[in-house]
Amino acid sequence: MGKLDGKVVIVTGGAGGIGQAICRTLVREGAAVVASDIDLPRCQKLVEEIEKSGGQAMAIQTDVTNKADIMRMVDTVMQKWGRIDILVNNAGIISFGPVAELAEEEWDRVLRINLKSVFLCSQAVMGAMKKQKSGKIVNMGSLAGKVGGIVVSSAYAASKAGVMCLTLSLAKELAPFNINVNALAPGPVDTDMTRAFPPGALDQTINQTPLKRQATPQDIANVVLFLVTEDSRHITGEVIDVNGGILMDI
């Protein structure tokens, strides 16, 4: 028996490194997982892998900045499984550069994908969760949202600060419906996003980290798993640091 038997999960950004790790981890605990991403082929490959191992999964191409697209995703999931128990708002992009050189279009793009998507996706699933009188929402914040842009741009840092503040608002609003809303604030994670750091920046960050390593996608997925099971039933409105202790040294 898995901790998530009978649960239906939507993971946005399901094609990326962290998203795939989350999908695999929740499936192992019995959940039916929807891998949602703009990159449909990578999601389909993941779903094939999950189904071969005996799990339940579905790939849905979704532009998480487009409300109509999101509603189609939610309708598809409800038609297939009749419920939505967990939403992991993991979709996001990274951005670099000083404020003085940041184009308005880049600011808007980062805020749409990283922050607006969390608002739209959460809004889209909360009706089903309210009817069920249960649900879990986990949002992906960032260390940068707490300390500002160091390696990353101000747009990225601001978007993640917004995600974490939105988490608190959602947690307060949805608590009467037995819906838990929490966020993670990872530091660097071994993904394509972190590999895009400017030369030397990642090594410098790791050296500054008390544990002297960056997180793996599985490290993040393990904390997500905790937050979406009944093990965390009395936790809501929290932002959990998953950064190897680097926040202590900043």
pLDDT tens digits for range 199-237: 888 888 888 889 999 999 999 999 999 999 999 999 999
- What is residue 151's predicted lDDT score, i.e. its pLDDT? 80
Cβ–Cβ < 8 Å for 114, 159: yes
- What is residue 64's predicted lDDT score, i.e. its pLDDT? 98
> 16, 114, 156, 164: which one is catalytic?
156
Residue 236 known to be catalytic: no
- What is residue 200's predicted lDDT score, i.e. its pLDDT? 84
Domain spanning 8-249: which superfamily? NAD(P)-binding Rossmann-like Domain (3.40.50.720)
Give the separation between CA 212 and CA 205, rounded to whole angstroms.
Answer: 9
- What is residue 26's predicted lDDT score, i.e. its pLDDT? 98
- What is residue 222's predicted lDDT score, i.e. its pLDDT? 98
pLDDT at residue 145 is higher than 70? yes
- What is residue 249's predicted lDDT score, i.e. its pLDDT? 75
pLDDT at residue 248 is higher than 90? no
- The pLDDT-based confidence of 250 (bands split at 50, 70, 90) is low
Terminal-to-terminal C-alpha distance of the chain: 42
- What is residue 221's predicted lDDT score, i.e. its pLDDT? 98
Burial state string for 179-189 with b = 16 or more CB within 10 A and e = fewer than 16: bbbbbbbbbbb
> What is the reported pTM?
0.96
Q: Express each pLDDT in 89-135 by its tens digit.
A: 999 999 998 999 999 999 999 999 999 999 999 999 999 999 999 99
Q: Express each pLDDT in 16-73 by its tens digit.
A: 999 999 999 999 999 999 999 999 999 999 999 999 999 999 999 999 999 999 999 9
Q: Express each pLDDT in 185-209 by its tens digit.
A: 999 899 888 888 888 888 888 888 8
Residue 167 makes CB contacts below 8 A (sequence gap 6+) with 139, 141, 181, 182, 183, 237, 239
